[in-house]
A and B are shown apart, each in its own frame.
Chain A
Amino acid sequence: MPEITYVEAIRDALREEMRRDDRVIVIGEDVGVKGGVFGATAGLFQEFGEERVIDSPLAEAAIVGVAIGCALAGLRPVAEIQFLDFIPPAMDQLISEAAKIRYRSNNDWSCPMVVRAPCGGGVHVHGALYHSQMLEALFAHVPGLKVVLPSNPYDAKGLLLAALRDPDPVCFFEHKGLYRSMRQEVPDEEYLVPIGRGRIVRPGRDISCFTYGATVHEVVTAAESLSRDAIEVEVVDLRTVRPLDRDLIVESATRTGKVLVAHEANLAVGVGAEVAALVAEECFQALDGPVMRIGGPEIPAIPFAESLAEVYCLGPRKIESKLRELAAY
């Protein structure tokens, strides 16, 4: 099996599905000749032509709104928003339209589409306020949407193929810090990673840490550090934040009795709050400590300067410290 990067896994999934299904088209800024600002659509324009790989005007609401129209007319569009930070103009189309089309038509119409967007930042990403945000909670709040955030190349390909065949709109958010930072063996052939299922990345008996996206890798590093002191943290990659893998969360939390939720997005009213509430409701008797969360502080996003970015970002050390606090409880 070839070792490929995360962004190559995205591109492979798009290419394979476009070869398999001529209803799949790609719409976005710079997705054509240039192949996307991160290269996620590299080569697609050359292989499939301008009718299927459409360089859009600089208009996010249109990228999503036109994709919705394509979906209504029977295509399987992939809308790329160049950075998740620029998706707010398309929120009306996503929340008022895409998410509600099936429900509001009593199942007469549907809107199978994928909205891809690079997200996230980090100390060395230098994306600052408008090239680094994690906005998944805004979408995870909305019935009718599915929200996926893969953490590695294998999942990226398998989840994207699943999203492309899903009958409903899927928000597919790719952490740009992962695009080229890791390689992984990924099958050439087709496989699906089911939407709505998490994965135990690292088993452990003492604490369950629920996380997703790039933070998974920081949590694993922190867990390995605790392991040297015989504290075994179970790291659970949620992979999908809507719908949550409730069974896995409840099973793991019940088994370990201690829970930390870690995410890069702002902590308040985030995905962590939903996971914490689920654990509190379903696992109360099994808990051996307070459900804890760690995430972004109460500032709008990651500032530019490294010294300021450090304050926002988690990183293995902050996570380790929180895990030790929970372990000692």
Chain B
Amino acid sequence: MALTESAPVGVAGLTRDRLRAMYRDMLLGRLLDQRVLVLNRQGRAPFAISGQGHEGAQVGVGYALRRDYDWIIPYYRDISLVLVMGMEPRDQLLAALAKAGDPNSGARQMPAHYSSRRHNIVTGGSPVATQILHAVGVAQAFKYRGEDRVVVATVGEGGTSEGDWHEGLNWAAIHRLPVIFLVENNGFAISVPQSLQMAVEHVADRAAGYGMPGVSVDGGDVLAVYRAASEAVDRARRGGGPTLLEAACVRLQSHSSDDDQRRYRSAEDLAEMRRHDPLERFRADLESSSILADGEADQIRQECQSLIDEAQAEADQAPAPDPDTALRYVYGEA
């Protein structure tokens, strides 16, 4: 949506400060993601997986949640979402460089397996869509305890082909649980296009089959995502049950540092995709409506870069995990 001079405050119910903060979080996610990829190409980070192009979807949803109250069960592209929920650039740089202080997993998992109990960010594995069922269980616990918390589970459109996806949506709808299933649909599961993943145009079309609302939204429009997510969150919090929220995203980078999407996507397709960069679009909207003053975007960028530089310096100096700890925490230690 376009922002106008006449709606400088209260756009989507958001203040100017909040809108600037959204832009800052999207940009911080983007720059941090870029830094991890650079570290990978320098041979310092063994593996990287990118969320570039998903920032609008993630920040839009994240801002609809209550931080340190609501829960998320993210997947591997959610670098911006976990920043919104309270994690720091240093947390992901420690993970990228496999340092002991990595709060996600103590460098036991590959990077981008986001986790922080402190921030209600649930640990995940690498099998796709298993987290959908965990979110349903978390929501079941909220309902049982009479809490008005909400949990968001995220997944790519490829993950919606898994059985756990189906079982989870079915269960959540039966019990009208406070869970939002966010599908970050970037059109590709590694190299396989959506047309070979499903026969429907929108993942959200399937919601009717489960008996829950399904909403498709342009993930390139952070405020549209915020609005749709806020509706879903309000419904869930009021006991109105789950929502299937699909955000159309672009995958600006390849699937992972071990992939090259130029091998299976045309140059035209890649060029067209870049025209839908959510970050550029939001900046232009904020600048044209004077919510970002001239030069303010650059200033925010410098602040983000400094934060990342400091975090990297800290991560560079941090120790690797002590091999004596490798055998710990298979089971609880009394």
Contacts and interface: CB of A to CB of B under 8 A. Distances in A.
Interface of A: 25, 51-52, 54, 56-57, 59, 61-62, 64-75, 77, 89, 92-93, 96-97, 100-110, 143-144, 146, 167-168
A61 B133 contact: yes
A167 B115 CA distance: 20
A97 B163 CA distance: 15
A89 B167 CA distance: 11
A146 B332 CA distance: 12
A60 to B, nearest CB: 9
B197 interface: no
Given A110-B332, A167-B331, A70 B133 contact: no
Contact of A59 (B123, B141, B170): B170
B144 A102 contact: no
Nearest to A144: B330
Nearest to B331: A168
A144 B331 contact: yes
B215 interface: no
A106 B140 contact: no
A107 B329 contact: yes
A149 B147 CA distance: 37
B167 A65 contact: yes
Contacts of A107: 328-329, 333
A180 B189 CA distance: 51
A248 B325 CA distance: 28
9 tightest Cβ-Cβ pairs between the two chains A and B: A69-B137, A65-B133, A106-B106, A167-B332, A73-B141, A62-B167, A69-B134, A66-B137, A105-B123
B125 A109 contact: no
Nearest to A60: B167
A104 B123 contact: yes
Contacts of B144: 25, 51-52, 75
Given A108-B115, A109-B123, 9 more contacts: A65-B137, A67-B137, A69-B137, A72-B134, A77-B137, A104-B105, A104-B125, A106-B102, A109-B115
Given A62-B164, A96-B127, A107-B329, A70 B140 contact: yes
A93 B123 contact: no
A65 B71 CA distance: 17
Interface string B133-151: 1111111111110000000
Interface string B290-334: 000000000000000000000000000000000000001111110
A97 B130 contact: yes
B330 A73 contact: no
A92 B127 contact: yes
Nearest to A107: B329
8 contacts: A57-B174, A62-B171, A69-B139, A73-B138, A96-B130, A106-B106, A107-B328, A110-B332
Interface residues of B, number: 44
Nearest to A166: B332
Contact of A65 (B104, B134, B329): B134
Contacts of A96: 125-127, 130
B239 interface: no
A244 to B, nearest CB: 14
B116 interface: yes
A57 B167 contact: yes
A180 B138 CA distance: 36
Contacts of B136: 62, 65-66, 69
Interface in B165-184: 167-168, 170-171, 174
A87 to B, nearest CB: 14
A93 B128 CA distance: 11
B134 A59 contact: no
A74 B145 CA distance: 10
A64 B130 CA distance: 10
A66 B141 CA distance: 10
Given A61-B133, A71-B137, A103 B108 contact: yes
B213 interface: no
A107 B133 CA distance: 21
A168 B333 CA distance: 10
A177 to B, nearest CB: 30
B117 A97 contact: no
A66 B171 contact: yes
Contacts of A146: 331
Contacts of B115: 104-105, 108-109
B109 interface: yes
Interface in B74-98: none
A152 to B, nearest CB: 26
A65 B131 CA distance: 8
A49 to B, nearest CB: 10
